[in-house]
Amino acid sequence: MPLKSEYNQRNMAVRGNPGKRVSGLSRVRLCTVSADPIEDPSDPVIILRSHPERERGEFLQQYHTVVDAARDPSGYEQLRRPLHGWSLTVIGTNQPGYYDDIAAERAGTSATMPVTSVIPDWPEWLAALGAAEPSTPTAS
């Protein structure tokens, strides 16, 4: 049996001729929608739950600081931006080898290369951003 809206469109009467069916109308297409809620990655509860235990204390400390600053509606951006940043750290901290790579970087034993070998026009990018002296940091 056709859907009600489909049935009504196909059997709609033309003014002046109630028995005539309207032709040329396309069928109505319905899509399925999941009943599962979509998680907002910037939701503080999701961030806290998704971070490894060792990151949670730092997150809570920073979160409480920005919540205090965001009590005024004009401070909303001060809350939204750090939450977005922390939602991105969830991705990084849950990658295999993340903490090993951080430790190697701090110890000076990680494999690095000049950023100009990865981004050849790095000095031009910096100049366009208004950097006084283009530098060439290394990319890990």
pLDDT in tens, 89-103: 999 999 999 999 999
Phi, psi for 113 (deg, rounded to 5): -145, 155
Give the whole-angstrom CA distance, residue 4 versus residue 10.
Answer: 10
| Res 56: pLDDT | 96
Average pLDDT value for residue range 123-132:
82
Quote the percentage of the chain above a pLDDT of 70. Answer: 70
pLDDT in tens, 65-114: 999 888 888 878 888 899 999 999 999 999 999 999 999 989 989 888 88
Give the whole-angstrom CA distance, residue 101 versus residue 109.
Answer: 9
pLDDT at residue 138 above 80? no
User: pTM here?
Assistant: 0.55
Average pLDDT value for residue range 35-53:
89
| Res 134: pLDDT | 46
- Comparison of pLDDT for 124 and 16, the residue scoring more: 124
Burial 40-66 (b: 16+ CB within 10 A, else e): eebebebbeebbeeebeeebeeebeeb
Give the whole-angstrom CA distance, residue 101 versus residue 110.
Answer: 7
Compute the CA torsion angle 96, 97, 99, 103 (nearest 10 deg): -170
Tally of CB atoms within 10 A around 126: 17
Average pLDDT value for residue range 9-37:
58
